[in-house]
Structure 1
Amino acid sequence: MTPITIFAGKTVALFGLGGSGLATALALQAGGAQVVACDDNPAKNAEAEANGIEIADLRKADWSRFSSFILSPGVPLTHPQPHWSVPLARAAGVEIIGDIELFCRERAKIAPKAPFIAITGTNGKSTTTALVAHILREAGQDVQMGGNIGTAILSLAPPSDERVHVIECSSFQIDLTPSLAPTIGVLLNISPDHLDRHGTLQNYAAIKERLIAKADKVVIGVDDALTRSAVGHIQGEVLRVGLSDHERGSIYAESHRIFANRDGCTVPIADLAGIASLRGDHNAQNAAAAVAIALFSGIDTVTIARALRSFPGLAHRMEEIARRGHVLFINDSKATNADSTEKALKSFDDIYWILGGKAKEGGITALAPYFAKVRKAYLIGAASDEYAATLGSAVPHVFCSTLDRAVQQAAQDTAEMSRAVVLLSPASASFDQYPNFEVRGNHFRELVKTLPGVEPAMGA
């Protein structure tokens, strides 16, 4: 835990007692603050109260008591409309911040030079975060990894000069972190996502850019127009990353090899051939970004190349979970939008595709160029009718409603195949049927394990 001492002796309000919310309340309490919290879920209130947190109805609270208001990143700040707690805080002149902002302020107080790597992007940020943490650990560093991936940031050990924090940041978290100023700020890419929470693509892109605005050093992807336009706004030292960006000051991936362009000279860094956890152009981009971060962190190229080859991959992201004969089962539950699913469709052939859930804006229309690679589609969840209309006659498809039916049907259809990939890559949020993509992916993994004749994939 990182005790938050900056509010010692003060009273703060907090809404949202999920995983990061409860961790935040406990960190504030450990640092000497009085926390008054609530959640719309009575079970969450009871859990917090059992941990010594004061629970109160913030609708009826005296907001003049509060020095700050801590809002869970999952709660709407602006769109589609502010949560009821937001106008109460604003009317009282109480600042609205999140858990990463608390970390940033505590770091500024106790260890302002502590290494802090913050990573964002529409896609690839979890893989890049995990890969960076892996490289730094292989180099012998004390690494704390969390934020939007895995562990809440305030559940990690406190910042110190001898410890590096590698933190994935969502747009929701960045929006609540006005003093975000990492040692290394990373912006991988920007494509339409979460527009229901940010209103417009321009708003979403501007929030993403905030992560790099005050960074000492910046790693930025240049394979899309929005991130390329952001390059001109950067104040700190910059490394550009992408596919075949040969300009000076770039780390680029070409086919399966990664190069650095140093003062006009091309220097080979690593070869990704044969690394299953880093297959595909998108992972070459992620690896190029991780290499740039590692170089900024002073890691030698031999260690970087060795660490890339030993990277186990990220759960729920093109994760090889099982084989049955020559049929490979892939868990890509983390693909919650079409742009993310595109990476999986590009990486495989002879695909039996399980998709659906709560549709994002644009649905799967952008994936039409890859429909020829799909032998059959299995539709689940709320988006089934919309996705069926998009697939039309181009892809044979069946309505399965639930994931268990989809897995059974796909297993039957591929039972006699000499080569096939059963791919869960939903291109949709999970919230219509599951609490999050992790639960969805874990369910898929368990369903596949029960199939007769399956064996764990190498490394699974």
Structure 2
Amino acid sequence: MIPVTTFAGKTVALFGLGGSGLATALALKEGGAHVIACDDNPARMAEAGARGIETDDLRKVDWSRISSFILSPGVPLTHPEPHWSARLARDAGVEIIGDIELFCRERAATAPNALFVAITGTNGKSTTTALIAHILREAGRDVQMGGNIGTAILSLDPPSDERIHVIECSSFQIDLAPSLAPTIGVHLNLSPDHIDRHGTIELYAAIKERLVTKAGLAVVGVDDAMSRAIAEACEAKGINVARVSIEPLDGKGVFADGETLVGVTATDAAPIASLSGIGSLRGAHNAQNAAAAVAVALALNVSPETIRAGLHTFPGLSHRMEEVGRLDEVLFINDSKATNADSTEKALKSFGDIFWILGGKAKEGGIEPLTSYFPKIRKAYLIGAAADEFARTLGSDVPHVHSGTLETAVMQAAADAQALGAPAVVLLSPACASYDQFPNYEVRGNHFRDLVRALPGLEAKGA
């Protein structure tokens, strides 16, 4: 735990007692703050109370004695409309911040030279975060990894001059962290996502940009126009920028030439590593992720030899193009983390002869952007609330069936793929949120994995 000593003796209100919210309340209490916590879920309130956290309805407290308001990143700050607790804080003139901001203030007060790598982007940030942490551990560094990737940031060990924090940041977290100033900030890419929470793509992009505008080094993916504009804006402000791309670069950075990662300095360009044969980093999107990780590692003085070793031993992420197993010539891939079309595109690019399981709670645009990949789809299996909408998009171009549930889809796809009698892929890549049938993409992906591993004769990977 990181005790938040910078709020010692102050009264702090907090809304949202999920995993990160409860960790935040405990870290504030441990650091000497008086915390008044609230949640719409009575069970969470009871759990916090049992852990020694004072709980109350924030509509009944005296806001004149509240110094700061800590909001869970899952709770709306501005759109589609501010949560009632955020309105109360604003009306009282109380700052609204999140757990990333608490970490930043604690680091500034206790270990200002501690290395801090922060990663964001619409897609790929979890893979890049995990890969950076993995390479740094291969180099013998003391690494703490967390944030949006799973472990709440304040549950990690405290910052110190010997330790590196590698933190994934969502747009929601960045929006609540005004003093975010990492040693190295990584921005990967931008495509429409979470517009319901930010109002417009322009506001979403502006929030993402905040992660790199105060960084010591900004590592910026430049394969989309909005991200290129972010790199240019950073340079205009005098920020040190390293670009990453799947296309050749003119300036400093790392780019992917096919499966070869090339480092570019002011004086030359030289191969750093090859991604050939690394299943956990398959596809052009992972080449960009790996290029970003390599740029960070080089900036932190990791040797090319160690970088190459780290790339080859990287196990990949659960639910992101995860190889679950094989049944005869059929490969089963769990890509449950693909909750929008842009993310699913990466998987469709990477495979052929695909038996595609998709659906759930659709996001804006549906699967219309994926029509150019339809020739790669042997058959589609539709589940969840988006089934009818997606069936209309697939039309007569892709054979499809309304499977309804994931259980039925796996059974049907496995049988059809085996019947092909040739190498094929059963791909769960929903292009949808999970919330209609599953509480989150992890539960959805775990269920898929369990269903696949229960197939007779399966050669499981990592079982």
After TM superposition, the score normalised by the length of structure 1 is 0.99
Q: 1:103 aligns to what?
A: 103
291, 295, 298: which is aligned to 2:294?
291
Deviation at 1:297, TM superposition (A): 0.8
Q: Is the 8 A contact 2:111 2:160 kept in 1?
A: yes
Amino acid at match of 1:360: K
Q: How does 1:71-220 map to 2 (within 5 A)?
A: 71-220=71-220
Q: 1:441 aligns to what?
A: 445
Amino acid at match of 1:261: V
Report the count of equivalent residues: 459
Amino acid at match of 2:266: D
Structure 2 CA distance, aligned partners of 1:375 and 1:441? 22
Q: Is the 8 A contact 1:98 1:177 kept in 2?
A: yes
Q: 2:395 aligns to what?
A: 392
Q: Deviation per CA, 1:320-365: give whole Å up to 9, x if none.
A: 0111111010000010110000000000011010111111111110
Amino acid at match of 2:283: G
Residue 415 of structure 1 aligns to a residue whose secondary structure is helix
Amino acid at match of 1:331: N
**Is the aligned partner of 1:431 residue 2:435?**
yes
Q: 1:37 aligns to what?
A: 37
Q: Deviation per CA, 1:245-292: give whole Å up to 9, x if none.
A: 321212100110000112242201001000000010000010000000
**Is the aligned partner of 1:55 residue 2:55?**
yes
Q: 1:270 aligns to what?
A: 273
Q: Deviation per CA, 1:63-111: give whole Å up to 9, x if none.
A: 1121100000000000001101111001111100000000000000000
After TM superposition, the score normalised by the length of structure 2 is 0.98
Residue 160 of structure 2 aligns to a residue whose secondary structure is coil
Q: CA RMSD in A?
A: 0.9
Structure 1 CA distance, aligned partners of 2:350 and 2:8? 51
Gaps (5+ residues) in structure 2? none
Q: Which moved further from structure 2: 446-455 or 176-185?
A: 446-455
Deviation at 1:42, TM superposition (A): 1.2
Q: Is the 8 A contact 1:247 1:264 kept in 2?
A: no
Q: Which moved further from structure 2: 233-242 or 174-183?
A: 233-242
Segments ≥4 residues shifted beyond 4 Å? none
Q: Deviation per CA, 1:10-65: give whole Å up to 9, x if none.
A: 11000001110011011111111111111111111111111111110111211112
Residue 370 of structure 2 aligns to a residue whose secondary structure is helix
Structure 1 CA distance, aligned partners of 2:65 and 2:455? 58
Structure 2 CA distance, aligned partners of 1:68 and 1:123? 32
Q: Deviation per CA, 1:112-163: give whole Å up to 9, x if none.
A: 0100000000000000000000000000000000000020000000000100
Amino acid at match of 1:174: I
Q: Percent identity?
A: 70
Deviation at 1:431, TM superposition (A): 1.3
Residue 165 of structure 1 aligns to a residue whose secondary structure is strand
Q: Is the 8 A contact 2:329 2:418 kept in 1?
A: no
**Is the aligned partner of 1:349 residue 2:371?**
no
Residue 27 of structure 1 aligns to a residue whose secondary structure is helix
**Is the aligned partner of 1:363 residue 2:357?**
no
Amino acid at match of 1:418: A
248, 266, 284: which is aligned to 2:251?
248
Structure 2 CA distance, aligned partners of 1:264 and 1:327? 47
Q: How does 1:332-343 map to 2 (within 5 A)?
A: 332-343=335-346
